[in-house]
A and B are shown apart, each in its own frame.
Chain A
Amino acid sequence: MNQEQIELTIGWLYPTLMSTYGDRGNVICLQKRCEWRGYTVKILPLDENATAADFQRVDIIVGGGAQDRQQEIVMRDLQGTKAAALRERIDSGTPGVFTCGAPQLLGHYYEPALGQRIEGLGLFDFVSVHPGANARRCIGNLVVEVTAQRLAQELAAICGSPTYLIGFENHGGRTKLGQVEPLGRVVQGLGNNGEDGTEGAFYQNAIATYSHGPLLPKNPFVADWLIQTALRQKYQAPIVLKPLEDPFATQARQAMFQRLRINVPTG
């Protein structure tokens, strides 16, 4: 397949309502890594002005965090045919990355510190609860070893095994997983709830994680996995991605691993 003919549409969930802290970094990263390879990229906002048909057109879905009030507005809007379309996309394997508050929308429900329970789409088998306004927020640098089986294998094929994600978490809510597979094991930080050592969740090709903002720039192999998966889904043929140089990401990762005194295989 001719690289110049490749075209991907990135669906960005509620860009103005759900982008609390650097979450745009994930969109920028996907867009640039496609463009650097000569692909055509479209960014499609999946917001109040979008239709269910828009939700059906996207090849990759990105969702970030929201303040509680904004989260409520999103959930009011994300009902009916839009919700059904999003559910259908994720169920059928459209790759996505949902950081910070976005996963709460995909779980069964989120109970904020103040106000009423916000019902989610119930796609991911987990619930999120805020333990109260006076409870400590989970804040700090986060290192996660990817354990979700298929994802770990596919990432290893891209970058060498095993795979460590590096990021920053900042959340009040605590997430308890049901039958869904966790994304990984916490090496540094608190993760889903600070208790069971799990972080995030992985379902079909959708990644949920509390590691907000620039998850993808700091972990470019995850961005490439999302792109590769999107291409496979869309064109039904394996497309080999041209490797890119990532010196700054590598150095930023090494600097943080050193500071945290964590020995991980570099890749």
Chain B
Amino acid sequence: MDVVGEMAKIQIKDRLQLGLAVLSAKAVTFGVRSLKLGAASVLPGEIARRLQPQLLQLLSRQVKQGVILIAGTNGKTTTSLLLRTMLERQGKRVAHNATGANLENGLISALLANTNLVGTLDVDYAILEVDENVVPRVLAAIEPKIILCLNLFRDQLDRYGEVDAISQRWSKAIATLPPDTIIIPNADDPTLSYLGQQLPQKVLFFGLSEPEQYLEEIPHAVDSIYCPNCGHSLDYKGVYLSHLGDFHCPNCGFHKAPVAINSQEYPQILIGLYNKYNTLAAVLAAQQLGVDEATIRDTINNFQAAFGRAEELHVNGKHVRILLSKNPVGMNETIRAVNQVRQQTPSAQLAPVLFVLNDRIPDGTDVSWIWDVDTEKLVAQGGTFIVSGDRVYDMALRLRYSQPEDNSLQLIVKEDLREAIATALEHTPRDRTLHILPTYSAMLEVREILTGRKIL
């Protein structure tokens, strides 16, 4: 048989397997949803992948105008939602793993949700949030049009080990992609700035140009204050959050890469400086995909939070804000944002803050990281703090050790989450905001209790 015939045969075989895999996955999705077992964001993809191991490749190739990968420790969901909204407002059809299922089976499930029964995918773009650890495996299957590298913080070390190792693996995997791939790394993150400066592809950096936002001191939970090029201590003109800032190496001259976007031209979405980074990354990607500037700005000005990410709810006439807090950097930034809100309030009328700490697989099973969080900064203001979750006493212990001598802190411990939420709402004045800081699985539970329905 000639080579062309051989290839055609493989393609037909692939095609058949693809169809079979897609059909099975659709059946599973239908079953899971009919039985109200969940949103079917993982299982269909997993089953289909076993039936057709190259499924991710076969599906992603059908995306008409390209795949956008979004990687990083914090901010993937908000950035994705922002970019997706911009594209949809331009009339584009977008596939997106919106529930945060960001391993291979979750990516496949998201693509499958947009295919017809024979496996034909009808979308212009796919926005795929990718867990930092599976980036190399995903890049072996997908040639994305754009990769956003948001940040690298230590998170879930119980699963992944160390930040340095992850960035090296990303760098290797990205270097093999075609030269017209667009890479959008965070210039303020030394590891990613370095990664971008080494790549042969088109690289556009984003970062902040707002010295007035510098922190007064470098927080404890920093990972990367050493030069990724030579190992010398980096000098910082200023730090925006964690190890993100305006840095240079006094030894080898390595420094923050020049940015392709002026952060001062774009407004703040939601609360928290980290959302400025998410905005800039989404804007750069949207510009590269030809979204017009009016649509970009309109989307930013009218943006609604993704579930649990500074999401605002009204419950029994009380205002609630849910701020997913799953690692030290994320929680430190959340605390900074909450403090900014609380500082506008006389201490007698402070609304309480509710912490919900779980240690299930999606949260990371190790809760030691709470000792890296500057809870002292939140507790210093006084007020009522309520704790709950699987590791409620570990959280209470952390707050106890955060308490200054003359502090009028009121600490309420509630093992039962429903009781904890009810107590927190009771303590919240009508014109104040209750801030809830949950880990991932805790956030899903909190939302279910507050809204009466599941998202996943």
Contacts and interface: CB of A to CB of B under 8 A. Distances in A.
A214 B369 CA distance: 9
A139 B397 contact: no
A22 B372 contact: yes
B154 to A, nearest CB: 7
Interface string A160-185: 00000000101010000000000000
13 contacts: A22-B372, A24-B220, A24-B371, A69-B231, A139-B366, A213-B371, A214-B394, A214-B398, A217-B371, A218-B394, A248-B396, A248-B397, A248-B400
Given A48-B233, A255-B392, 12 more contacts: A21-B369, A21-B372, A22-B371, A25-B401, A35-B405, A68-B162, A214-B394, A214-B397, A248-B393, A248-B400, A251-B396, A252-B396
Contacts of A32: 401
Contact of A137 (B161, B220, B393): B161
Given A67-B164, A218-B397, A73 B226 contact: yes
Contacts of A218: 394, 397
A84 interface: no
Contacts of B370: 22
Interface string B74-88: 000000000000000
Contacts of A15: 220
Given A21-B369, A70-B226, A248-B396, A217 B161 contact: no
B397 A212 contact: no
Given A20-B154, A21-B366, A139-B365, A252 B226 contact: no
A29 interface: yes
B410 interface: no
Contacts of A133: 165
A23 B328 CA distance: 13
B161 A172 contact: yes
A239 B163 CA distance: 44
A193 interface: no
The dominant DSSP class at the A interface is mixed
A249 interface: yes
Interface string B215-233: 0000010100110000101
Contacts of A214: 368, 371, 394, 397-398
A169 to B, nearest CB: 9
B456 interface: no
A23 B220 CA distance: 11
Interface in B231-286: 231, 233
A21 B231 contact: no
A168 B366 contact: yes
Contacts of A172: 161
A251 B393 contact: yes
Nearest to A254: B393
B167 to A, nearest CB: 11
Interface residues of B, number: 33
Give the interface centre of B225, B371, B391 by most chain A CB atoms within 10 Å.
B371
A128 to B, nearest CB: 16
A21 B225 contact: no
Nearest to A72: B231
A70 to B, nearest CB: 7
Nearest to A100: B368
A19 B372 contact: yes
Given A16-B225, A19-B220, A252 B368 contact: no
Contacts of A168: 366-368
A3 B271 CA distance: 46
Contacts of B161: 137, 172
A170 B158 CA distance: 6
Contact of A140 (B154, B162, B165, B365): B365
A170 B401 CA distance: 24
A262 interface: no
Nearest to A99: B368
A75 interface: no
Give the interface centre of A15, A28, A48 by most chain B CB atoms within 10 Å.
A28
B348 to A, nearest CB: 27
A28 B231 contact: no
B94 to A, nearest CB: 37
Give the interface centre of A15, A23, A28, A69 by most chain B CB atoms within 10 Å.
A69
A243 to B, nearest CB: 16
Contact of B371 (A16, A25, A73, A252): A25
B172 to A, nearest CB: 13
A3 to B, nearest CB: 15
A196 B216 CA distance: 48
Contact of B401 (A20, A21, A29, A140): A29
A166 B164 CA distance: 29
Interface string A1-39: 000000000000001100111111100110010010000
Contacts of A137: 158, 161
Contacts of B231: 69, 73
A69 B225 CA distance: 12
Contacts of A29: 401
Contacts of B164: 67-69
B157 interface: yes
Nearest to A245: B400
A28 B401 contact: yes
A21 B157 contact: yes
Nearest to B399: A248
A32 B164 CA distance: 33
Contacts of B400: 248
A13 to B, nearest CB: 15
A73 B368 CA distance: 24
A170 B367 CA distance: 12
Given A16-B222, A32-B401, A69-B231, A252 B393 contact: yes
Interface in B94-144: none
